[in-house]
């Protein structure tokens, strides 16, 4: 007789499933299937981040986010949700807490990343030079998935002792921090 092990995951979806969903969402955006949700004047915001929910059900939220220069999300987690993203255009810099320090990685168009429970990071549009990109980064777009759908986020600061301190937690269904 086999013993069953209860999953500690808050969702039946795995990081690989979320990566597949963000990849498919990115393909749908590029194919024009979500054009009706994009800015009506055809101009992407240049002063603040912009986001639109592409899909929402009981298991997952899928978002398209437009990033602007110099506006970071702040160091945060996604509370009880797993996450993933696919970069459509431009590039993003992610600063992830590894338990001792913030580690930076750059994600360029076509790159993907997933975020397990407890992942604490800050995300910002990468400068062209850091991304190894010549030419404009506008718009910098990414598709994000959260499962279960996002309901809360906690924000952190790195202390002078090299540890994280939670500064606040908020109830939200907005991706990657409050949008400006």
Where does the chain show beta strands of DSSP type E?
50-56, 61-67, 82-89, 91-97, 102-108, 112-115, 121-125, 140-147, 152-158, 164-171
- Global confidence as pTM: 0.87
pLDDT > 70: percent of the chain:
87
Q: pLDDT tens-digit profile of 24-35?
A: 999 999 999 999
How many other CB atoms are found less than 10 A from the CB of residue 169?
Answer: 13
CA distance 84 to 97: 17
What the block records as the tokens of 145 is: 């998935």
What the block records as the tokens of 101 is: 């320090």
Which of the residue ranges 20-29, 39-48, 63-72, 141-150 would you say has the lowest mean pLDDT? Answer: 39-48
Once rounded to an integer, what is the mean pLDDT over residues 99-127?
A: 93
Residues whose CB falls within 8 Å of the CB of residue 8, separated by 6 or more in sequence, listed in order: none
Q: Is the pLDDT of residue 1 over 50?
A: no
Q: pLDDT tens-digit profile of 128-156?
A: 655 555 555 578 999 999 999 999 999 99
9 — pLDDT class (breaks 50, 70, 90): confident
Once rounded to an integer, what is the mean pLDDT over residues 71-78?
A: 92
Long-range CB pairs of 163-167 (<8 Å, 24+ gap) are 164/75, 164/97, 164/120
Indicate the DSSP class of residue 13. -
Q: Give the H or E element holding residue 99.
A: none
């Amino acid at each position: 007789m086999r013993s069953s092990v209860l999953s500690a995951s808050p969702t039946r979806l795995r990081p690989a499933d979320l990566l597949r969903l963000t990849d498919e969402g990115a393909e749908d955006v590029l194919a024009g299937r979500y054009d009706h949700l994009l800015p009506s004047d055809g101009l992407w915001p240049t002063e603040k981040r912009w986001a639109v929910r592409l899909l929402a059900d009981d298991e997952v939220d899928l978002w398209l986010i437009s990033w602007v220069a110099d506006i970071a999300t702040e160091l945060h987690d996604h509370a009880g949700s797993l996450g993933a993203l696919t970069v459509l255009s431009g590039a993003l810099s992610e600063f992830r807490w590894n338990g001792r320090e913030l580690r930076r990685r750059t994600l360029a168009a076509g790159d993907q990343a997933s975020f397990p429970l407890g992942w604490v990071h800050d995300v910002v549009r990468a400068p062209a030079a850091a991304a190894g990109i010549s030419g404009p980064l506008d718009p910098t777009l990414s598709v994000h998935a959260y499962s279960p759908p996002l309901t809360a986020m906690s924000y952190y600061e790195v202390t002078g002792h090299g540890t994280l301190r939670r500064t606040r937690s908020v109830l939200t269904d907005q991706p990657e921090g409050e949008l400006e």
